[in-house]
Structure 1
C-alpha cells in the first residue's frame, strides 16, 4: 500500500492496530505519522490517550505499559515511537505484536534505513497491521513528483521552474515541500508558478544555476559557462563542484545513449531515458555537437576532476579554478 492509500484510509478513520513506517525517506514517514496524530484523537482526548516516545530514551517496560493501557474518555489510545531506529528491543515486543491491544494504535517511525525483513517482529506486524517502506524518490521521478505535489497544492509549475527546484534542492522532499508551502503563503491558489517566482522567493537564480551551466556546456557557450562559474565562486552555496561533475556526467551519459537509439521522437527518448520530455528535446539537440568519441573523452575528464575535487592530484586549485579548467577541456578538442 502506498502513502496516498494509507492517508485516504486514515482520513476515513479506518485505522490499523500497528503501523511500521520504515525506510530511507523520512518525509513520507512524517507525513503518515502526523496524519495519524491529527486524526486518531480529538484535541481534548489527547492529554490522557496519546503517548509520544523516542527510541533512544524509551524503556521497554514503559513502552509496553503504554501499549497495554486502556483509553480514558475515548475509544482509542495512540502511541507513537519516534526515532524508532534507536530502539534496541524490537524482538522483545513480539508477544505484543502477536496479540496487540485492540484499543491502541501503535505507530513506529523507523527512519533513514530499512527494517530488517528477516526479523520475526516485522512479519508479525505485517499480519496484524501495516508495514510501509518509505523509499527515496528516484532521480528520474523527481520532476514528476514535484509537479504532482505543486498541482495538489492548487498551483501549476512550468518545466524550467520544476528543474530549478530539482537542481537546487535535490532529493530532499521535506525541503521541497517547505519551499512550496512558502509560495502558498505568498501567492493565491491557481497561480501559474514560473522560474521568476522561484528566483524571487526561494533564492535560486534563474540565470546562474546548475541547470543553466549544463545548458551553456550543451550550447558550447564557454563565455556563459565561465560567468556562471564566477557566480558560483561568489556564492559558494549555489553549487559545489561535486554536484556540477555529477550533473555534467549525467548529461553526457544521456547524450551518448541517444547517439545509439533507433528513434528520434522526443517522447520516446524521454521514456527511454526516464526524463522530462522537455529535457529529452534539449538533449537531442545537444547530440549533434558532441560525437561519441568526444563524449567518451569528456567522461574521462569528469572522472579526473571528480578526483581532483576530493584532493587527489590537486593541492592548491580552488573549486572555481577546477571548474573552469574542466569546462575548458569539455568544450575544446
Structure 2
C-alpha cells in the first residue's frame, strides 16, 4: 500500500476540472502565458488565508520547487560553496546540493521531548566555521511537521543577514496548516527586518494535488537578485510556462477554499485515528505533533529494533513508506506516512502495521 509519496488520493477541486475541461475544449495548446488575473487570484488567496503580501514583479515561474532549487544553486553559488540545511529534512535537498557539487553543511534540528527545535547557536556556528553561502529553509518543515513561529524565523533570518547568507525558503506546504497554528511566511519576516537576500519557493501542487501539471513560483523581492536570476535563466533555462498548470492554479486560488478546508478535516481525522490506535496498541510509540503538512513523522524505535524497521513495515505489513534515514543520518527507526488519503485506506494500513509490529514483538519474545 503506497503511503510514501507526497501527493493525494483525492481529485482536484471541481473548479480546476472545469477550467481544464474548458481549456481542452477550445482545442489549441500553443505557447502559454499567465492568464489575465493570475496574480490577483494568487494574492486574493493569500489575503483570505495568511495575509502574506507579494508583488507581481517578484514572480517567476518554474516547473517545480526542486527544479527551482537546483537552478538557484547554480545561479547564486559556485561549486564547493557551503550550503546549509536542517536535517531531518526533505531528502531532495541533500541530492540537489550533492549533484550541483556544492558542500553539504548540516545544522540538525534538536528533538526536545516530542517536538523539534532549532539550535540557533549551532546554526550560527556552522555558518561561521563552514563559510556558508546559502541556507535552504523548509517552512513548514517536512518531515517533522513543525510550523515555524515568527520569532523562530526572525532569529534564523537575522543570523543569515548578519553573515550575508542567501536564504531560499521552500514554502510549498504553506496552506497545509492544522489546528490553531498560524503560518508566517519568510517574506513577511524579511520585510519587517529589511532583509534582501531571500527567495521564496512555493507551488499549488501540494495544496491542490496538481504536481503533474509542472507549475511553481519563484518569488525574488530584491531587484539585484531578480536581475541576476533572469540573466541566468536567459542563458541556461529557456523554459515555457505550462498553460494547463497556469489554468489549474488560477482556478484553485479563486475557488479552492472550501475544498482545502474539507481536505484538512480529513487529514486531521486520519491523524487522530492513527494516533489513537497506535498509541493504544503500543504505548511507547512516539508520534510527533503534526502542525503542518499531511505527512506524519512516526518514531518506532521504542517498539521495534531500528534495523528491523524496513522488514516489519515493508516486508511484513506490506506498506510503502518513507524511511527516516532518507531524511537524516540518524533517522533509522522513523518513518513518514502520507495522510492525504481516505480513512478506509488509513484503517487498512493501521491494521497491517499493528499486526506486523505485534508479530515482531512475539518473534523477539
TM-score by length of 2: 0.23
Q: Which has the higher contact order (CA 8 A, sep 6+)?
A: 2
Larger radius of gyration: 1
TM-score by length of 1: 0.25
Higher helix fraction: Structure 1 or Structure 2? Answer: 1
